[in-house]
Chains A and B, each alone.
Chain A
Amino acid sequence: MNKQMKQLAIGLAIVLMTLQACEKDPKPNTAPVNESELITTVIIEATDSASGQKSTFKFKDADGEGGNAPSQFDSILLNANRTYSVSLLLLDESKAEVDTISNEVLNEGEDHLFNFTVSNLNIGIKLNDLDKNGLPIGLKSIWRTGPIGDGKLKTVLKHQPGIKNGDPALGETDIEIEFNCRIK
């Protein structure tokens, strides 16, 4: 090694060290921001196809999983022996500007699938929308209610990127809410 090379090596080392140490960190009192999106709210809008009467049922947990408990968790109330056309609205209300997540679900319909499970009640549910590939999504559905009773209705949204084939068991769960449900 000649002398200049040695000096160069030392110089380079010193420059590297000082440069790297200068980058600034955020301050510890920086406010948290939840930039990744959340689904905080699910609104079920059921329209009686005979009377045109609309009812909405809501689940809302504005700060996401953990933290504060859900602020609203309605029971679903339906009339016996009717047909409802149902649409689902998903919102992110954790931010100042409310984001309509159901639009994204619709746009990426080929990656998403809703599934409804009814227990202790008689409600026939048929998904009534299709994605690009001709498979149902479930943002829109038709519900036919049976006789009077009390039971549960579970709504599940699966994220199935690249694997959607109509099977509701596949994929990762984005929503799983079990509503109390009454048919009167």
Chain B
Amino acid sequence: MDAQNINCKIKISGIVLDSFEQVALSNTIVSIDSIRKETKTDGKGQFTLNDLCPGRYEVHISHLNCEHIHIILEVNSDTLIKIFLRHIEKELIGFKLSAKLEKSEDLNHLNAKNMDYRKGQSISMLMQDIAGISLLKTGSTVSKPMVNGLFGNRVIIVNNGIRLEGQNWGMEHAPEIDAFLASEIDLIKGAESLRYGADGIGGVIRISPKSIFTEKPKTLNGEINLIGNSNGRGKTGNLILGGVLSKNLPIYIRVQSSIKQFGNIKTAKDYLANTGMSEFNYSVNLGYLRKGLLSEVFYSEFHNKIGIYTGSQVGNLSDLEKAMNSRTPLIKANFTNQIDRPYQLVQHRMLKFKNALQVNAKNKIELTLSYQKNHREEYDVLRSANSFTGPSFDYYISSSFAELVWTKNPFHQINWKAGLIGLRQSNAYTGRFFIPGFYQNSFAGFLIASKQFKKLGIEGSVRYDQKHFDIYRWIGTVSNKTQLKYTGFAYVLKADYQLSGKEKISFIQSSTWRAPAPNELYSNGLHQGLASIEIGDSTLRTERSYSQSLSYSLHLKKHKFDIEGYFQIVDGYINLTPSNKVILTIRGAYPVFQYQQNKAALYGFNTRWKYQFHKSMYTIISAQLPYGQNMDTKGALNLMPSMNGKLSLGYKHRTLNAEVWVNYQSKQNRYVVGSDFMPPPEAYALIGFDLNYEFKAVGQNFKCGLTGSNIGNSSYRDYLNRFRYFTDEPGINISAKLTMTINQKHKK
């Protein structure tokens, strides 16, 4: 390199911060080994490297108490960089290395800011901003995530490091998670996803709270959120308070509670009878962090009561036809907060105990124990005043889980992570049969390895599972125990290639599997509200998925473009298929839906383009094109999302952020004709907006926001809503939010 060259006057300057506390790190060595340039950060963490020629450099950053990092920079002009280093001890907390500058502009990630704008919405609603995620709904009160058309047992939800073990199998069962605990949401697709299971063949959605270790001594930290919604006259409140006992006793404490109440929801024209809901949640979090040892206890409770639209509980097929042929809801209603039958009552409790030990600079051991208990009751409409008033369905599931993980992070070599997992689960019910009771004992082991070469990053993982079920079924008055055992391997391979500083491609190839769920094997009964009979098949085998995806990202100053294409074959894909059979009952003939296995293909594209066309204005265009094909019948797969897209126009100036958008959902033309009671609804477009402003008053930080959805108050129905036969989707809703950030330093 010729320093005398006229162009060789380029300067790389920057600041080095601790990724945990965001404080400046002085005395950090910043060097470019190839040209033997070296400097140290000053007291403010700042550094400058002068007289560089244009080109690619590997910059080495090291600090005594922190890890070393290497970053590749392509410099053509003066460059300013911000580098976050993690302290070895802080590494225990599990912060990700964030040398990548803007993590938020990712297809598969939602950060704390995204969460702030959506405060008060359900956890599933929050997820839908991630590319590829659609919502499978049951009326206006129940929704669950669908990843590229896959849902339920095929999507793993990880809440606070623990896989959510709830009543995931039911289409009308929403995830049992308090949305106020979510600080970040990721859709994990790489090697790490196998840590949480091999059966997430749709994906792994990880919901992370704000780490307890962000609390500071001598400071009372927290937040108060108040949210009001016009539709349903919803009222939501949330309080978080946290601190550290004292500097000498590093016990971190945080308590949180949220409460929510909604009354009847209104479509563009009518109130929907019995569509209110209420929710009460709380959590307590304690942490201890000192000298390489981290301990954390987390306990949370989730309680909700969800009203189900009264008109959805049809007596038989003729009632269903009558409901479908009516343009307005058959049950007339006014506004009320009262919730009557039918309703769902759900409780979910989680206790987590995590310990991590930093053995030395490279090795870390984590032991996590958790216990979850889920109780779901469903109350149907009473046939007469002397009917049994208890729950019509009553399910219990409790899960004890243990995970031991060893992590080795040597610099410049292969990073390793290995783990052993055990799960003991008991599923029971009282009263009416729909799915059988069972015990599950599972063991799993996984190994993840990753290595970063200059431009190429490679990661891979394998997992072995052994699942053992004892299933209890009753034939007359005799209990019949069936033992089932499933074993299998899964792997994920991922390669990232940095084409330049701005362009990256990655490729993921995986093979994962899922054992049939007890409802798919043995359910046998009337499906509430859909006037159909669902029959399981005890001969179902495991599903095996082979998936590949290719993604490309281009991040320039003004343009940020991401696209991913995926192609997934699922061998033995279990789906509920209409049969030609009808079953004669006292309420007429019911169509029969049976669980069947087919070879299925799921493929499509997700893309997002953000264009900063002015210093304070931008547009974002995103689109999702999912397809599902039954390869045996050469026809469509039912219940796939249709092509959809969103166009947003944003304005950001200082602490004001405004966004207006249009959401478009096309009509689903790909479905099995004759398999549904009603053809898919028409395409629709909805307009919404977000307005957020931050300000300081009385020494505290405030955030206020206004969000509007369906502001055109359109009448529309959605193909992925199971109540599309009965009612329109909700009409206009305006929600107002106020957040007060508490940051009270106490003297002493």
A residues lining the B interface (CB < 8 Å) = 1, 6, 9-10, 13, 16-17, 20-21, 23, 25-37, 39-40, 42, 59, 61, 64-67, 69-70, 73, 104-105, 108, 111, 159, 169, 172-178
Contact = CB atoms under 8 A, between A and B. Distances in A.
A65 B586 contact: yes
B432 A35 contact: yes
A106 B235 CA distance: 44
B433 interface: yes
Contact of A20 (B297, B301, B470): B301
A64 B351 CA distance: 40
Given A173-B318, A174-B383, A176-B316, A26 B586 contact: no
Contacts of A59: 586
Nearest to B374: A25
A25 B588 contact: no
Interface string B295-315: 001010100000000000111
Interface extent on B, as a size class? 35 or more
- Provide the main secondary structure of the chain B interface: strand
Contact of B437 (A1, A27, A42, A104): A27
B396 A25 contact: yes
Contact of B319 (A34, A108, A173): A173
Contacts of A177: 586, 588
A139 to B, nearest CB: 14
30 contacts: A1-B220, A1-B746, A6-B253, A10-B286, A20-B299, A20-B301, A28-B427, A28-B436, A31-B474, A32-B429, A33-B430, A34-B432, A34-B433, A35-B431, A36-B383, A42-B586, A61-B584, A65-B525, A65-B583, A66-B524, A70-B584, A73-B584, A105-B384, A108-B384, A108-B385, A159-B383, A172-B315, A172-B319, A173-B316, A173-B588
A29 B437 CA distance: 6
A138 to B, nearest CB: 16
Interface string B592-618: 000000000000000000000000000
Nearest to A38: B586
Given A26-B428, A27-B437, A69 B584 contact: yes
Given A17-B299, A177-B586, A32 B431 contact: yes
B587 interface: yes
A172 B428 contact: no
A65 B533 contact: yes
A97 B474 CA distance: 20
Which of A26, A159, A169, A174 has most chain B Cβ within 10 Å?
Answer: A26
B513 interface: no
Interface in B496-554: 524-526, 533, 535
Interface stretch (B142-150, B386-394, B662-670, B727-735): B386-394
B396 A26 contact: yes
B431 A33 contact: yes
Contact of B433 (A25, A32, A174): A32
Contact of B430 (A30, A37, A73): A30
Which 7 pairs, one residue from A and one from B, show the smallest C-beta to C-beta distance?
A28-B437, A173-B315, A32-B433, A176-B588, A29-B472, A172-B315, A35-B388
B585 A30 contact: no
A32 B371 CA distance: 26
A11 to B, nearest CB: 12
A124 B528 CA distance: 36
Given A61-B586, A66-B524, A13 B299 contact: yes
